[in-house]
């Protein structure tokens, strides 16, 4: 069955598997001290134009978010984030499990604004009882957001400016970074992202790797004891070269960029296919996650041929759904979906 459920349903890009195979019997030291990790690190810093930066590799997103945020916050501080952010909703309280509160900001289509961050910080320090409240110690945003939307360069500049003024770091969760950068209306490059925040991560798990996320720190002083902290969080992979090697491949000949662009191309075709059939967008997402508001009986019909996710519980007549493309989505799969959509009984749909 056709499946558009998520972007972590397949293995890895063939070039990665090939490299794994060719290097399998090499012996390298552990915990990220191998030459593959070093090479990947150099390639990433170069792509980010961050000669003074540092890169750490971890296995998954929750692990990465938790370790980075724990590394950036003082013990009395919390992290400002969107109400819909992954760290607030979908990590089973991993941030709180390290002792830090997620401080929730009002959210519009997954995004928070510089104005709201500024206001929160201002109100906090104006409050006489601020010692009894959790200090905002950093800002977390995701790019693209959990709803597929992206910040414009202007928006990101404004947020980063507020952070620098308040002297708190800005951290970007880039689980789907490639798909954000490749989004049609994106006006940001990787190097610009790297210079408009303090720490971010380049997601591999959802963008061509078997697994792996590359944390980029714009200056090492920000996370001075990060390797022991990674070990403490169970986030220092023994065979660290597996991570280095994958990112080395992804950052060779712009593979990361190219496969991200492909995914976006597929996503845009998918979006058009729905729009052509007269369906409504639930959110107008420019990246690889597409959200539609479908009549419940369309959902029922489609589900017999295509697998996808309801976005929340089933509603009374229409329900939001999510379709996701990734590096591995083929033209054939999109065409098959197009046929499914065209084949829906128009009369039935139109009555909804």
Examine residue 71 and tell whether it contacts a second copy (CB under 8 A): yes
Q: Candidates 90-98, 273-281, 283-291, 297-305 — which segment interacts with a second copy by CB under 8 A?
A: 90-98
Q: Which of residues 96-115 bind a second copy (CB under 8 A)?
A: 96-102, 104
Minimum CB distance to a second copy smaller for 310 or for 349:
310
* Closer residue to a second copy in complex, CB, 313/347: 313
Binds a second copy by CB under 8 A, chosen from 127, 253, 335, 342: 127
Q: Which is nearer to a second copy, 125 or 195 (CB)?
A: 125
Please, what is the Cα angle at 105 between 194 and 59, to 5 degrees? Answer: 45
3-state secondary structure the chain: CEECCCCCCCCCCHHHHHHHHHCCCCCCCCCCCCHHHHHHHHHHHHHHCCCCCEEEEECCHHHHHHHHHHHHCCCCEEEEEECCCHHHHCCCCHHHHCCCCEEEECCECCECCHHHHHHHHHHHHHCCCHHHCCEEEEEEEECCCCCCCCCCHHHHHHHHHHHHHHCCCEEEECCCHHHHHCCCCCCCCHHHHHHCCCEEEEECCCCCCCCCEEEEECCHHHCCCHHHHHHHCCCCCCCCHHHHHHHHHHCCCCHHHHHHHHHHHHHHHHHHHHHHCCCEEEECCCCCEEEEEEEHHHHHHHHCCEECEECCCCCCCEEEEEEECCCCCCHHHHHHHHHHHHCCCHHHHHCC
| Cα–Cα distance, 87 to 95 (Å, whole number) | 7
Q: Given the rule CB under 8 A, which of 122-130, 142-150, 249-257, 281-289 is the region that contacts a second copy?
A: 122-130
Residue 168-207 contact track with a second copy, rule CB under 8 A, x = bound:
-------------------------------------xx-
Q: Is 316 in the site for a second copy (CB under 8 A)?
A: no
Among 37, 56, 82, 91, binds a second copy (CB under 8 A): 91
Shortest Å distance, C-beta 225 to a second copy: 5
* 120 is an interface residue for a second copy by CB under 8 A: no
Among 193, 235, 263, 273, contact with a second copy (rule: CB under 8 A): 235
Number of residues that bind a second copy (CB under 8 A): 79
- Considering only residues 35 through 64, tell me which ones interact with a second copy, judged by CB under 8 A: 59-64
**20 binding a second copy? (CB under 8 A):** yes
Candidates 242, 264, 298, 306: give the one binding a second copy (CB under 8 A). 242
- Pick 14 or 343: Cβ nearer a second copy: 14
CA trace torsion 2, 3, 9, 14 (10° rounding): 40
68 binds a second copy (CB under 8 A): no
Q: Which is nearer to a second copy, 15 or 281 (CB)?
A: 15
Report if residue 10 touches a second copy, rule: CB under 8 A.
Answer: yes
Binder of a second copy out of 195, 219, 231, 254 (CB under 8 A) = 231
Q: Does 119 participate in binding a second copy (rule CB under 8 A)?
A: no
């Amino acid at each position: 069955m056709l499946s558009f459920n998520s972007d972590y349903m397949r293995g890895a890009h063939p070039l990665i598997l090939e490299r794994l195979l060719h290097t399998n019997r090499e012996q390298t030291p552990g915990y990220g001290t191998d030459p593959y990790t070093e090479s990947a690190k150099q390639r990433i810093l170069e792509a980010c134009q961050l000669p003074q930066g540092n890169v750490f590799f971890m296995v998954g997103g929750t692990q990465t978010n938790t370790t980075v945020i724990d590394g950036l916050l003082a013990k009395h501080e919390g992290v400002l984030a969107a109400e819909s952010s992954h760290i607030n909703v979908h990590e089973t309280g991993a941030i709180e499990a390290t002792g830090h509160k997620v401080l929730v900001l009002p959210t519009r289509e997954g995004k928070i604004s510089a104005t709201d961050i500024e206001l929160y910080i201002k109100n906090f320090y104006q409050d006489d009882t601020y010692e009894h409240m959790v200090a905002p110690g950093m800002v977390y945003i995701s790019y693209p957001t959990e709803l597929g939307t992206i910040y414009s360069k202007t928006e990101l500049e404004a947020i980063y400016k507020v952070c620098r003024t308040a002297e708190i770091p800005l951290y970007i969760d880039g689980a789907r970074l490639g798909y954000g950068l490749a989004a049609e209306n994106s006006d940001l490059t990787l190097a610009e992202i790297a210079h408009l925040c303090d720490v971010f991560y380049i997601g591999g798990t959802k963008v061509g790797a078997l697994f792996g996320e590359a944390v980029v720190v714009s200056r090492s002083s920000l996370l001075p004891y990060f390797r022991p902290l990674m070990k403490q969080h169970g986030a220092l992979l023994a065979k660290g070269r597996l991570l280095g090697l994958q990112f080395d491949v992804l950052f060779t000949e712009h593979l990361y960029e190219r496969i991200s662009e492909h995914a976006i191309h597929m996503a845009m075709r998918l979006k058009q296919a729905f729009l052509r059939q007269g369906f409504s967008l639930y959110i107008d997402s420019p990246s690889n996650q597409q959200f539609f508001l479908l009549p419940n009986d369309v959902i029922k019909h489609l589900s017999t041929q295509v697998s996808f996710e309801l976005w929340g519980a089933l509603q009374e007549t229409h329900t939001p759904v999510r379709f996701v493309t990734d590096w591995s989505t083929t033209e054939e799969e999109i065409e098959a979906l197009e046929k499914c959509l065209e084949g829906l009984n128009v009369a039935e749909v139109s009555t909804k």
